[in-house]
Copies of this chain bind each other. A is one copy, B any other.
Amino acid sequence: MSSFIIRGDICTSTDKNTILTRENSYVVCKNGVCQGVFTEIPEPYRDLPLQDDTGKLVMPGMVDLHIHAPQYAYRGLGMDMELLSWLDHYAFPEEAKYRDLDYAEKAYDIFTNAVKHSATTRMAVFGTLHREATELLMDKMEQTGIVSCVGKLNMDRNSPDTLREGSARESIAETERFLRETLTRYHNTYPIVTPRFVPSCTDECMEGIGKLSEQYGVCVQSHLSENPGEIAWVRELCPDTAFYAEAYNRFGLFGKPQKAIMAHCVYSSDEEIALMKENGVFIAHCPASNMNVASGIAPIRKYLDLGLRVGLGSDVAGGQTESLFTAMTEALQVSKLYWRIVDNSCQPLSVDEAFYMATKGGGEFFGKVGAFEEGFEFDAIVIDDSRLPHPQELSVRERLERAIYLSGDIKALTAKYCRGKQIL
């Protein structure tokens, strides 16, 4: 069934500054495509089946623009170091285990089961450098019904022996095989070109995968300007680039010719920001991770005001949880600290902006996704917030705001739809 109507208390972003809320209203899905939000069911849709979620919050599914599947196993662990040491001590040894497909099977079952039951309907996922384990992950992602891009990582330098590809050629060849094998294998799961970050990829590797991205028409995801130590290292490694993003851009890995997601952008220079804007790069803002591994606070107010494309990322396991509700709360919280401590000309984010980033802002990476607008792919979640009792009257808008801040206390996802199909 991909044509139906949901009745409930509807919430959707119209633009980044506006959440539209409609109590006791209807959102219509026809052949997997949203027809809009209505206070009465319009004549042409009168015969569609009605899902009655009266009194519940109905909103677009959440979009997670940055998550590491193999790090899920140790989320909430070992966050006593900053980025580069954390990678060496925790992330790399854990990821090295995914050479073993039995371990990958067990770990990716846990991961995909968790995200299936989360509020997320779209994801951009990092795997490991292991092609086979990453294809296994894609098989399992496909089972969840979530739409995702999943990347086999490229790592051919500055990585431990247990987690490094033998050469640029090997890295490129494995990537090409990965793309060929997965490009049309699934309905909802797509490969994505994924240089881990500049320090772990040689120029030769970058050049090769940049060509593959263009040749196969496949998007790109990576990390950018996350941490001062990392940025200084990139400067050493790439003396002929003026700033970090150039190290991707010169190889066609920065939003042109294919769309690209760059996670973090905590310390992007003005030139880098200008290039992100010019190339339409998607920024994955990951506030939990930026706190947990002591990176800092990204100036998201500035990016939004400049019209850059910004979504949210859980960045598990730099972030401790896959919950995008938590990510929204944390985005709001760190924006207030940024205003207070770093730059009081940068106003804190609003709830509208946080919700926009988690839905329509990130959704744009996947096309017409993340809002209940005519012509948008129909992704939705239903939240029963009645287990959060309150003595006073609350508007739908207030209930949504509370659900965002109290995600951890609510745990009341009662239905989830992706591309018009109910998957939970």
Contact = CB atoms under 8 A, between A and B. Distances in A.
Nearest to A406: B76
Contact of A320 (B288, B394, B406): B406
Contacts of A332: 79, 292
Contact of A106 (B292, B391, B405): B391
B77 A296 contact: no
A76 B294 contact: no
Contact of A390 (B73, B79, B407): B73
Contact of A336 (B292, B351, B391, B407): B292
B73 A409 contact: no
Nearest to A389: B110
Given A73-B391, A404-B76, A408-B409, A337 B337 contact: yes
How many protomers of this protein does the assembly include? 2
A148 interface: no
A295 B348 CA distance: 12
Contacts of A295: 340
A236 interface: no
Contacts of A288: 333
A48 interface: no
Interface stretch (A29-37, A239-247, A321-329): A321-329
A278 to B, nearest CB: 29
Interface residues of A, number: 55
A16 interface: no
A75 to B, nearest CB: 7
B75 A406 contact: yes
A403 B408 CA distance: 13
Contact of A401 (B76, B291, B321, B407): B76
A161 interface: no
Interface string A270-310: 00000000000000000010011111110000000000000
A342 interface: yes
Interface string A330-373: 00111011011110000010110000000000000000000000
Given A77-B402, A321-B406, A342 B340 contact: no
A349 B398 CA distance: 34
A337 B80 contact: no
Nearest to A80: B350
Given A103-B391, A337-B294, A337-B297, A351 B80 contact: yes
A-B pairs with lowest CB-CB distance, top 9 = A408-B408, A76-B405, A291-B333, A294-B336, A107-B391, A76-B402, A320-B405, A106-B391, A76-B406
Given A110-B391, A334-B337, 14 more contacts: A73-B392, A75-B402, A75-B405, A76-B402, A107-B391, A110-B389, A292-B336, A293-B336, A294-B337, A294-B340, A295-B340, A296-B337, A320-B406, A337-B337
